Amino acid sequence: MATITVPHPLPSPEEDAKKLRKAFQGFGTDENAIIEVLGHRTAAQRAEIARTYARLYGETLVEGLRSELSGDFLNAVILWVMDPAERDAELANKALKNKGDWHIWDIWHIWVIIEVACASDPDHLMAVRKAYCSRFSSSLEEDVASRFAHEQPLGQLLVRLVSSYRYTGEHVNEGLAQSEAEELYDAIRIPHHERVIRILSTRNKSQLKSTFNHYKQHYGKAIDEDIESSGSSQFTSMLKVAVRCIGSPEKHFAEVVRSSVLGLGTDEDSLTRAIVSRAEIDMKQIKEEYKNRYNTTLNADVIGDTSGDYKNFLLTLVGSADP
């Protein structure tokens, strides 16, 4: 469930656009007004505000924000006001253009590709692929294939995941789920990469969740735990992420947030990505998972590792401290 709140009655797009314009003008910027408006509107409402703002003032809302904000607060707000599909296309392209050496476990950027492919519904992935082609004059799948050409079988897994179009219904074939749970059990141990990739990239999410349930019931351990214990290769590490993003994305994004705030310094890019991309999808479940797993609240860790307007904006998106 989403955690953003929308006021009732809802101001008109014209009222919101004028309030934002006023926040940009005068002596200093009214950051609280920007958070009050944009932090409490849905994606469709934000898009309408942006169209109205451009019509009224002859510049885009993003241009207005860039002229007044800076740093992590600016980055978070810009991502938030983007169309969700265009945002994920932008995040995927940035991840693929990363100059780091994939051989030294630059997992953060690979996580982005898997999140885009597996943590949302099939229609959203199709919209992301379309937006990617429009913005970057190449397809997401060909850029993934090119970037990971020498990283096999990881490249095969990622290409198949971003290229998939899964059935969106909830029909489940329990017999198939049971047989493929057995198939996955054997394939993880051999290992038989192609068999695992085929199942994860072709079955719908309801089918795969049933398969994962049969796996745990029959073998006494969750499939992601078995994958983790089967080896420490880059492929197995990312395979575990794919399984979690398909079966229980709240576990993955709780880990993203926790990893971003642990240690020396904060990984603001990962923290922003997790909160902005999930606030309208399943942030409530992520907060519940976070509290159960780490014995603290997501809100508390955001407060402890961020500050100022950036902190206030993230807290607006994640909602109250109660999970």
Which residues are known binding-site members for Ca(2+)?
Answer: 24, 26, 28, 68, 265, 305-306
Contact 165, 202 (CB under 8 A): no
Query: How far apart are the C-alpha atoms of 274 and 264, rounded to whole Å?
Result: 19
Q: How far apart are CA 51 and CA 13, in angstroms?
A: 9
**Which residues, including other chains, have CB under 8 Å from residue 190's CB and lie 6 or more apart?**
none
Q: What angle do CA 191, 166, 177 make, to 5 degrees?
A: 55
Binding residues: 24, 26, 28, 68, 265, 305-306
Residue with tokens 């030294």: 104
Please identify which residue in the block is written with the tokens 């199942």. Answer: 199
The 8 Å CB, 24+ separation contacts for 50-53 are 50/81, 51/13, 52/13, 52/14, 52/16, 52/17, 53/17, 53/20, 53/21
| Side chain identity, residue 154 | L
| Peptide bond preceding 323 in cis form (omega within 30 of 0) | no
